């Protein structure tokens, strides 16, 4: 039995996701920018680095009341499907990213108090 060539050729992208207590804030495909920068360098064009992640972090730091979380993670799932997951089942995708991603910034507040006292 031959291995599934589609599974072997699957590539992953690195994303940066941002959310807060009010919901999903944004998803940034870092890999796409890196591919474009590499292509521009090969073609002899100027390479500009983005400051998107820096801007996300600044937004989080200057709005502590919203308790932002920013994580980087790798996924073979297309960007549009990840955004759909954030809209349809946000807690599932957030839990998965927290477990499998790399924390960039977090003001997360854990609610350890019982709901009924």
Q: For residue 53, is it left (φ>0), alpha (ψ between -120 and 50) or beta?
A: alpha
Q: What is the pLDDT of residue 117?
A: 54
Q: What is the pLDDT of residue 105?
A: 95
Mean pLDDT score of the chain: 84
| pLDDT tens figures, 51-72 | 888 999 999 999 999 999 999 9
Q: What is the pLDDT of residue 6?
A: 45
> Order of strands, edge to edge, in the sheet holding 102-106?
23-29, 13-20, 69-75, 102-106
Higher pLDDT among residues 49 and 91, named by residue: 91
User: What integer is the mean pLDDT of 85-94?
Assistant: 94
Percent of the chain with pLDDT over 90: 58
């Amino acid at each position: 039995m031959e291995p599934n060539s589609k599974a072997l050729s699957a590539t992953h992208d690195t994303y940066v996701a941002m959310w807060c207590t009010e919901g999903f804030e944004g998803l940034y495909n870092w890999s796409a920018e890196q591919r474009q920068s590499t292509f521009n360098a090969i073609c002899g064009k100027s390479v500009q680095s983005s400051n998107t992640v820096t801007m996300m972090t600044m937004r989080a730091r200057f709005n502590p009341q919203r308790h932002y979380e920013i994580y980087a993670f790798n996924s073979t799932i297309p960007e549009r499907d990840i955004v759909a997951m954030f809209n349809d089942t946000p807690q599932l995708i957030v839990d998965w990213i927290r477990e499998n991603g790399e924390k960039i910034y977090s003001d997360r507040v854990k609610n350890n108090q019982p709901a009924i006292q």
